[in-house]
Structure 1
Amino acid sequence: MAGAANYMYEKANVKGVGYKNVEIIIQTQTGLNGNKLVEKESGSGNVITQRMELEAQRDPFNTAPTGEEDCCPDYINFTKEAEFEYMPVSYQTGTYDQKWIEKLCVQNYYIGAVVVEMYTHAEHLQKNTEVKTRKDCVEGGDCGNCTGALEANFNSNVIGVAHLGWLSKDVNVNSKGRHDEYGRSVEDLTGVFSIEKFIQLWGNDTCGAVQVDWLPCI
């Protein structure tokens, strides 16, 4: 991210019939640090509606005057409303026949948290997703003393396969040099489902030199 913009914003509205393949990758810090988001979407058929908004900001130096309000602007806000219907489509460039795939993975290394939303083999998918991940400064402290939060709100109707999960790990190592796992939830659904789910993962520690190991998209 060296030399990159400190603030990123994108808004999109798409409708149509055909084949669609999109990938979005955002990170506020390099390596096993900061907040990260990966979204992949592909399929053929009818894009009935799709509205997406993405906002991200990073603190390039991780420092700020003590007590300064909002001294650690390191966050990602993501919202997406979409509805897809599968069908094969054919053009002069070829025939496209792929059921819809939607994969979203958001990681917060400040608190050791991961949230995953994934749909595959979807004949119909209607979803409304909102995810917020951030670093929070301790009141009266500087950016070396921080906590954070990862919040997700999923509301979807799907004919296909759904996978939802979250993971929470201690950012500091235990006496054996490992990161304790505080919680994990994984749901796999196949068929016709209506899903409403809210996830809220908070940190309550001091972000120091020790970083959590690689956080998998479970």
Structure 2
Amino acid sequence: MSRLCSAVIISILVLVGSAAAANYIYERSVIQGVGYRNHELIGQTGQGYSGSKIIERISGSGNFYDRTEFELSVHHNSINFTQEATFEYFPVSYQTGTYDRKWIDRLCVMNYDAGAVVTEQYTHAESLMKSTQISTVGNSPLNEVNNSGIEASFNANVIGVGHIGWLSMDTKTNCKGRHFEVGRSVEDVTGVFSIEKYIQLFSNVSGTTGAVDWLPCL
């Protein structure tokens, strides 16, 4: 009997431990140096094609400064991302080898509750100075106003290749099983340029999602 009780207690503790998995994330980082850097950030508030998701990848060699704040709440179905960064390309050599890669910075934020996606991407960058702020919130009973969407602000000076885009789609499908495209914008530039964009994509209606990713990064 005592063994049975012990087994039951252990099972309860295991269930409580799994239920108490981290559903709130906050990270603040300042990274500065000279050399080669490879960074990846992935976060999501819902499984599959639901909730909000963020994907960021950075790589390159040279001089870099990056100050980032990242907050994710599963209960509030929200993501906040702020970044101020400067990248300057040049090859670096150490005893372990030579690293020679121009800077790549790719960021994609998706909100399936609002049918909205925003993409910021820089490749082959010899110089990149950027300030990015993105907030996304989805449907949640904890939110005062159930108004899902993405708000984004981009400000960048670049020598290289740049790509900024957004896509807004109806969360519900039509009789043919397709999502109506409300609008999109794609900006592609190459050379020496500056970009300043402010984007708001909001919806107060949510729909069902299927097994197919109908909201890809642009």
TM-score by length of 1: 0.86
The counterpart of 1:50, out of the listed 48, 61, 66, is 66
SS in 2 for 1:111: coil
Distance (Å, rounded) in 2 between the aligned partners of 1:158 and 1:142? 40
Change in Cα spacing, 1:93 to 1:151, as seen in structure 2 (3 Å) is same
Deviations 1:50-104 (A, max 9, x none): 1000000012xxxxxxxxxxxxx11000000000100000001100000000000
User: 1:93-112 alignment to 2 at 5 Å?
Assistant: 93-112=96-115
1:14 is the counterpart of 2:17: no
**Shift in Å, 1:136:** 4.8
**Shift in Å, 1:142:** 7.9
**Corresponding position of 1:29:** 46
**Shift in Å, 1:14:** 1.0
Change in Cα spacing, 1:177 to 1:136, as seen in structure 2 (3 Å) is closer
1:41 is the counterpart of 2:58: yes
Distance (Å, rounded) in 2 between the aligned partners of 1:98 and 1:142? 45
**Corresponding position of 1:172:** 172
Distance (Å, rounded) in 2 between the aligned partners of 1:147 and 1:174? 22
Distance (Å, rounded) in 2 between the aligned partners of 1:102 and 1:84? 10
Aligned length: 197
Distance (Å, rounded) in 1 between the aligned partners of 2:178 and 2:100? 45
Q: Which structure has the larger Rg over C-alpha atoms?
A: 2
Distance (Å, rounded) in 1 between the aligned partners of 2:173 and 2:63? 48
- Return 5+ residue gaps in structure 2 as ranges: 1-17
- Indicate if the aligned counterparts of 1:136 and 1:149 stay in contact, CA closer than 8 A: no
Distance (Å, rounded) in 2 between the aligned partners of 1:109 and 1:147? 13
**Shift in Å, 1:191:** 0.3
Deviations 1:180-214 (A, max 9, x none): 01011111100001110001000031x35x22651
- Percentage identity across aligned positions? 56
- Greater helix percent: which structure? 2
**Corresponding position of 2:12:** none
TM-score by length of 2: 0.86
Distance (Å, rounded) in 1 between the aligned partners of 2:171 and 2:42? 23
Residue identity matched to 1:127: K
- Indicate if the aligned counterparts of 2:113 and 2:139 stay in contact, CA closer than 8 A: no
- Indicate if the aligned counterparts of 2:31 and 2:66 stay in contact, CA closer than 8 A: yes
Deviations 1:103-148 (A, max 9, x none): 00000000110000000000000000000000255xxx788x9430
Distance (Å, rounded) in 2 between the aligned partners of 1:179 and 1:160? 34
SS in 2 for 1:192: strand
SS in 1 for 2:138: strand
* Runs of 4+ off more than 6 Å: none
SS in 2 for 1:15: strand
**Shift in Å, 1:6:** 1.2
- Return 5+ residue gaps in structure 1 as ranges: 60-72
- Indicate if the aligned counterparts of 1:89 and 1:95 stay in contact, CA closer than 8 A: yes
Residue identity matched to 1:50: D
**Shift in Å, 1:155:** 0.3
Distance (Å, rounded) in 1 between the aligned partners of 2:86 and 2:204? 37
Distance (Å, rounded) in 2 between the aligned partners of 1:179 and 1:195? 30
User: 1:185-200 alignment to 2 at 5 Å?
Assistant: 185-200=185-200
**Corresponding position of 1:78:** 81
**Shift in Å, 1:176:** 2.1
